[in-house]
């Protein structure tokens, strides 16, 4: 079913004449599935919580079952927990294309109980994905303390994402903060005495988990779809500029490097090339 | 592909006949390159705790990546701006058409120089404004204006009315302690900026000057805790997002 003949693909109608490969437009492609394509990468902060200058996370580079090292993990293979993409190096097979109409990023951290990120970001070690969360007794900065909300703020404001299709120009599309996802949230610390307060004076036992977007958020629509054409590498990465600081996170107030995970979801349509 | 020939650019359709260059080139004649967001950050030094000084006058989109300016003491990186051309001036063959705008304000502080984005010995802690009162006060008292070339300077209104590209979302304890807060952002977490009824165009070879301005000095509500909202030595950071279309001139 070529989708220019079907009104259910109204969302793609404005782009029907957009060329996917020479001689084939979006309107001529055959619909296969509507799906979310997701990919998770990771980076480490130092024990002092510093995210180094020009830290870069590759996304949609490693396909399912491929080595996760290319996406910032220290060992292991990509599983369905990290990606559902089967496009190795972001390259769709000869007869397929994926047309993404919406995008979003989520942020978290991976912990294994270890104090270093060699283990925290090792996918062969059982780990737990968590929201960015301040420790119970954050380290003071300028005699004050801040919390996980600010870590999320700092990462999402400092990281922006790049898109390169084939050997084309690399384009910086925007900061991660614009591309939110429907997130989870938590209500904790009902006793303000125990709650994480900004002065930190009585921050004893509670944490404040946060997510990149409210539970009801919708993904941001892309003005122009991102197309994964057949046999063309699509490279997406998130990158920061100058260094900045997170709050080292440890329940025991020990300086511990944080293994931050960056996930991207692309919502769109999987298509096959027209036959004949 | 010219903007006027593509259905994909429905958002720009009302402005197809808008002129972007003195030689009569219109938005409809331009060739699409990429839909993207441009951002730029400026810093206001805080010398009196919890007080924003009078006559705030901050430039945005004047310093490009690699330049020093806008309150920063070393070269800007992509963490501070996406802008690649100094003085708000695009090359001779490029046009940026901004269709929505958002502001976000936050605090940068460090024990050394919060205006130095390259500091590695003491990295910069960036955090959002720690109370809604403070966010409201800052956003309400600052406004922004734009001047294209030698044209009229137009004030667009308070920053508060341009909810930024929000990100974080956390629900915390019902606050029976007025000090309890985890920070506030301009706009909802799902804010996508405010649509500009008439696009803000950065024409080729013409300086576009965007400024954030304030009038009298004003105090920012504190949380009466040990931590000031705006500590002495910190910087109030103002970031503008312009979402739109980068285009090239017709050949």
Sequence-distant (6+) residues with CB within 8 A of B15 are B27, B97, B198, B199
pLDDT for the residue B183: 67
pLDDT for the residue A138: 36
Sequence-distant (6+) residues with CB within 8 A of A166 are A229, A232, A233, A234
Please, which residues bridge with residue B2 across strands?
A: B31
pLDDT for the residue B41: 96
Show residues of chain B in contact with A186, CB under 8 Å.
Answer: 171
Please, which residues bridge with residue A141 across strands?
A: A144
DSSP type of residue B185? -
Give the count of Cβ contacts less than 8 A between chain A and B: 239
**What is the CB-side half-sphere exposure of residue A196 using CA atoms within 13 A?**
29
Residue B4, class by beta-carbon neighbours within 10 Å (0-12 exposed, 13-18 middle, 19+ buried)?
A: middle
The alpha helices in A48-196, defined as continuous H runs, are 117-120, 148-158
Helix (H) or strand (E) segment spanning residue B218? strand B218-219
- Chosen for mutation from A54, A139, A242 (greatest number of chain B CBs closer than 10 Å) is A242
Question: SS3 for A75?
Answer: strand
Q: Which of A59, A100, A103 is nearest to A82 (CA)?
A: A59
Show residues of chain B in contact with A185, CB under 8 Å.
Answer: 169-171
Q: Supply the range of the domain harboring residue A9.
A: 3-272
Show residues of chain A in contact with B36, CB under 8 Å.
Answer: 171-174
Instruction: Compute, in degrees rounded to 10, the torsion defined by CA atoms A211, A216, A217, A223.
Output: 160
The DSSP annotation for B123-135 comes to PBEEEEBS-HHHH
> Is B68 in the A-facing interface, judged by CB distances under 8 Å?
no
d(CA B114, CA B108): 6
CB-based contact A178 B192, cutoff 8 Å: yes
pLDDT for the residue A251: 43
pLDDT for the residue A140: 36
> For chain A, what is the domain count?
1
Helix (H) or strand (E) segment spanning residue A90? none
- List, for chain B, all residue ranges whose pLDDT scores fall below the cut of 50: 172-181
DSSP type of residue B124? B
> Is B188 in the A-facing interface, judged by CB distances under 8 Å?
yes
- Chosen for mutation from A48, A161, A178 (greatest number of chain B CBs closer than 10 Å) is A178
> Is A89 in the B-facing interface, judged by CB distances under 8 Å?
no
Helix (H) or strand (E) segment spanning residue B136? helix B132-141
CB-based contact A154 B182, cutoff 8 Å: no
Out of B32, B190, B234, name the one closest to residue A213 (CB): B190
Residue extents of the structural domains in chain B = 3-248
Closest chain B residue to A190, measured at CA: B173
Query: What sign for the dihedral angle of Cα B202, B208, B212, B213?
Result: negative
Asked whether this complex has an ipTM greater than 0.90, the answer is no
- R_g of chain B computed on alpha carbons: 19
d(CA A3, CA A270): 11
- List, for chain A, all residue ranges whose pLDDT scores fall below the cut of 50: 135-147, 186-206, 250-254
**What is the CB-side half-sphere exposure of residue A134 using CA atoms within 13 A?**
31
> Is A146 in the B-facing interface, judged by CB distances under 8 Å?
yes
CB-based contact B123 A243, cutoff 8 Å: yes
A194-226 pLDDT per residue, tens:
444 444 444 444 455 667 777 777 889 998 999
CB interface of A with B, residues 50-69, below 8 Å: 50-54
CB distance B90 to B202 below 8 Å: yes
- Chosen for mutation from A57, A150, A152, A155 (greatest number of chain B CBs closer than 10 Å) is A150
Show residues of chain A in contact with B133, CB under 8 Å.
Answer: none
Out of A144, A145, A242, name the one closest to residue B77 (CB): A242
pLDDT for the residue A193: 41
> Is A145 in the B-facing interface, judged by CB distances under 8 Å?
yes
The DSSP annotation for B14-30 comes to GGTT-B-STT--BGGGS
> Is A148 in the B-facing interface, judged by CB distances under 8 Å?
yes
d(CA A123, CA A69): 10
CB-based contact A175 B241, cutoff 8 Å: yes
Tokens of A148: 């996980």
pLDDT for the residue A133: 58
CB-based contact A241 B79, cutoff 8 Å: yes
What percent of chain B is predicted at pLDDT more than 70?
A: 88
pLDDT for the residue B122: 64
Q: Please work out, in degrees rounded to the nearest 5, the angle formed at the alpha carbon of residue B214 by the alpha carbons of B208 and B215.
A: 130
Residue A38, class by beta-carbon neighbours within 10 Å (0-12 exposed, 13-18 middle, 19+ buried)?
A: buried
CB distance B250 to B110 below 8 Å: no
């Amino acid at each position: 079913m070529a989708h220019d003949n079907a009104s259910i693909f109204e969302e793609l109608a404005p782009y029907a004449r957009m060329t996917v490969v020479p001689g084939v437009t979006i309107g001529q492609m055959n619909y296969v599935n509507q799906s979310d394509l997701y990919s998770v990468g990771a980076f480490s902060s130092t024990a002092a919580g510093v995210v180094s200058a020009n830290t870069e996370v590759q996304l949609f580079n490693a396909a399912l079952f491929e080595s996760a090292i290319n996406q910032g993990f220290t060992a292991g293979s990509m599983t369905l927990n990290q990606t559902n993409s089967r496009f190795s190096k972001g390259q769709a097979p000869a007869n397929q294309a994926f047309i993404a109409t919406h995008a979003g990023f989520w942020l978290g951290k991976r912990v294994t109980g270890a104090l270093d990120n060699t283990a925290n970001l090792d996918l062969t070690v059982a780990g737990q994905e968590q929201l960015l969360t301040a420790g119970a007794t954050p380290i003071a900065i300028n005699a004050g303390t801040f919390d996980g909300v600010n870590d999320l703020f700092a990462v999402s404001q400092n990281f922006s994402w790049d898109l390169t299709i084939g050997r084309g120009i690399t384009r910086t599309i925007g900061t991660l903060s614009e591309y939110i996802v429907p997130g989870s949230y938590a209500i904790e610390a009902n006793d303000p005495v125990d709650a994480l307060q900004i002065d930190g004076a009585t921050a004893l036992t509670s944490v404040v988990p946060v997510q990149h977007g409210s539970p009801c958020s919708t993904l941001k629509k892309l003005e122009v779809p991102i197309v994964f054409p057949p046999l063309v590498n699509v490279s997406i990465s998130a990158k920061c500029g100058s260094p900045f600081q997170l709050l080292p996170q440890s329940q025991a107030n020990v300086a511990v490097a944080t293994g931050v995970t960056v996930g991207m979801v692309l919502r769109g349509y999987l298509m096959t090339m027209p036959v004949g | 592909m010219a903007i006027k020939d593509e259905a994909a650019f429905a958002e720009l359709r009302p402005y197809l006949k808008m002129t972007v260059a003195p030689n009569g080139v219109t938005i409809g004649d331009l060739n699409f390159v990429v839909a993207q967001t441009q951002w730029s950050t400026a810093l206001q030094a805080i010398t009196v705790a919890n007080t924003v000084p009078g006559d705030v006058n901050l430039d945005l989109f004047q310093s490009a990546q690699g330049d020093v300016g806008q309150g920063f003491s070393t070269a800007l990186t992509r963490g501070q701006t996406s802008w690649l051309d100094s003085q708000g001036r695009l090359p001779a063959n490029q046009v940026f058409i901004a269709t929505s705008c958002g502001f976000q304000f936050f605090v940068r502080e460090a024990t050394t120089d919060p205006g130095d984005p390259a500091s590695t010995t003491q990295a910069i802690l960036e955090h959002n404004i720690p109370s809604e009162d403070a966010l409201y006060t800052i956003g309400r008292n600052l406004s922004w204006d734009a001047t294209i070339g030698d044209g009229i300077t137009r004030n667009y209104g308070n920053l508060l009315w341009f909810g930024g590209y929000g990100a974080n979302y956390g629900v915390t304890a019902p606050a029976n302690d007025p000090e309890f807060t985890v920070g506030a952002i301009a706009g909802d977490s799902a804010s996508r900026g405010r649509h500009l009824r008439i696009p803000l165009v950065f024409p080729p070879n013409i300086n576009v000057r965007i400024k954030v301005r304030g009038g009298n000095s004003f105090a920012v509500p504190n949380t009466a805790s040990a931590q000031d909202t705006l500590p002495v030595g910190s910087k109030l950071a103002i970031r503008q997002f312009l979402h739109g279309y980068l285009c090239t001139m017709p050949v």
